[in-house]
Amino acid sequence: MTYTKLFEKWVNSPALTEEEREQLLQVTNEEEKEDRFYKELEFGTAGLRGKVGMGTNRMNRFIIGRASKAMAQTIIDNGLQEKGIAIAHDCRLFSKEFAKLSALVMASNGIKAYLFEDLRPTPELSFAIRYLGTASGINITASHNPKEYNGYKVYWEEGSQIKSNISDKVLEYINSMDVFAEYVTITEEEAIEKGLLVYIGEEIDEEFYKQAIAQTINDDEIDKNISVVYTPLNGAGYKAVTTVLDRRGFKNVHIVEEQKDADGTFPTVEYPNPEDVAAFEYAERLAEKVNADIIIATDPDCDRLAVEVVHNGKIVSINGNQAGAILVQYVVENLYKKGKLPENPVIVKSIVTSKMVEPLCKEYGIEVVDVLTGFKNIAALPNEYDITKEKNYVMGYEESIGYNIGTFVRDKDGVTIAMMLVEAAAFYKKQGLTLVDVLEQFYKKYGYYLDNTISVTLEGASGAKRISRMMEKIREIYAKEINGAEILTVTDYLKEKELDVKTGEEKAISIEKTDAVKFAYADETWYTLRPSGTEPKIKLYIYVRGEDKQQAEDKLKSVEKSVLDLLYSIE
């Protein structure tokens, strides 16, 4: 069906309220109309994510209701309906309404819904699934996307996000269902009376905080008076992060007042993503007033965290790879010193995350495992070790400022990592060092690893087609040499093969299929391209290693120019 016919079908549907119909009738721009209806909002392993509004390619009550019915049926098919489901939401527009709708669809299908009474951080939902022993979990969140977006993130009984074996089944059901069918057949009052809707909150909070604090490594040999500035960016992190820091004894914590309260319009930032240094504007102002040592920011659902450091009187931004290396070094060295490093330890990172921790981990006999992007793939390893007992997961992370330590949460955890980063900064402060000093020492020992992630945004139907062409063509026209270093291998994760460019030989790779391709060169330079799974972007990840900072910076610029010139030449 064409987008114009779908538009007419929606406008004329009796399921729409007059207000919803009026919203659609106000869409007169053809490009906007096409974008709303040229495709269905895709349900994948990241669930659903899109702009809020009426249309097949939008987040609205019809899309949420149908997805929840499909999820309910999938839970029933797996014989898990007696275990129930945990449901949470963040601060975004309509998050609370969508969460309640999801709960009532579950209750309508005889599945007990444990619904958080107000917003909670994403890692707490992951914890709640494990604590309550539910079959699944739903979080209404669009993470760090712009304010126009919302999302529907789905978890399975281990507390990690669903993988394709579940998402494919849900999608199959979605495709067989009428989007306008009434999937709620029970009132909130009836659901509560029958025990099919239970509001949860404080008990889960307390257990989550205890487990987060239990990840503490050093508590005595640190400077607890360290000055911390924290901003939740008007998201879901305020209560949990400040509670955990306070209970650990960090009392010199200053909150950015303008960004303290939950607000889905994000009035102080254009883009509520702490990966973007612009998000730190208010926090930096406060840091100067309170003589801060460290500044931390969590994204709207508090699963991701970014950090800045005050070093020699100047504010220095630390990117995801650098913060990951600092955390890995702190955790590994201190667990080792205390004799608490487990046998057969493993650190898990994504294929687009820097290799800079590998030489350090080798020294301590720690295996570093690469998995596909997305924390569901990182969490798959501790899930597996729960069963096999052959290895012990220590921590996992990815360059996009997502980190996790321990096994009580199976997703990115901005709450616990906020505590761990403050602990690390306080530990090094007692030695007269900032986190920048620690990073510099790391570089001097292991080499200067630098990286950059570049996102090329291409909106709408035409943008999606161009992204597809870019991914197809770059596999054919890649640079054979950069900075005098020859290309060694091309790893195509879609074909699940690695090509040795010199010999022409191909070998299979043991990693799940995805649309990504990696190019590696003789001087340890490598870069990977992949389309974003949640945004209209193609993402380029570049990594270089130099003997000193200048050499690394020069290499980085050269690689950026070579690859982007090729990419932009693809129309």
Q: Distance from CA of residue 431 to its chain's centroid?
A: 33
Structural contact between residues 392 and 386, judged by C-beta atoms closer than 8 angstroms = no
Query: What value, to the nearest 5°, has the Cα angle with vertex 364 and ends 362 and 368?
Result: 45
Rg of the chain over all Cα atoms, to the nearest angstrom: 24
Length of the chain: 571
Structural contact between residues 543 and 507, judged by C-beta atoms closer than 8 angstroms = no
The CB density around residue 129, as the number of other CB atoms within 10 Å, is 29
Q: Where are the alpha helices (DSSP H) in 311-357?
A: 320-337
Identify the three-state secondary structure at position 50. strand
The CB density around residue 568, as the number of other CB atoms within 10 Å, is 10
Structural contact between residues 159 and 135, judged by C-beta atoms closer than 8 angstroms = no
Single-letter amino acid code for the residue at 14: P
Structural contact between residues 185 and 108, judged by C-beta atoms closer than 8 angstroms = yes
Per-residue DSSP letter, 59: B
The CB density around residue 558, as the number of other CB atoms within 10 Å, is 15
Q: Which two tokens stand for residue 374?
A: 């997305």
- What CA–CA distance (Å, rounded) separates 396 from 369? 9
List, in sequence order, every beta strand (DSSP E) within 121-246.
136-140, 149-156, 197-200, 228-231
Residue 128 CB partners (closer than 8 Å, separation 6+)? 86, 88, 114, 116, 134, 137, 200, 204, 208
Q: Which two tokens stand for residue 97?
A: 């309404």
Place of tokens 């889960």: 204
95 is a catalytic site residue: no
Dihedral over Cα of 214, 220, 221, 222: its sign: positive
Enclosing H/E stretch for 487? strand 485-492
- What CA–CA distance (Å, rounded) separates 88 from 205? 12
Q: Which two tokens stand for residue 443?
A: 């570089």
126, 143, 167, 350: which one is catalytic?
Answer: 143
Identify the three-state secondary structure at position 346. strand
- Active-site residues: which are they? 143
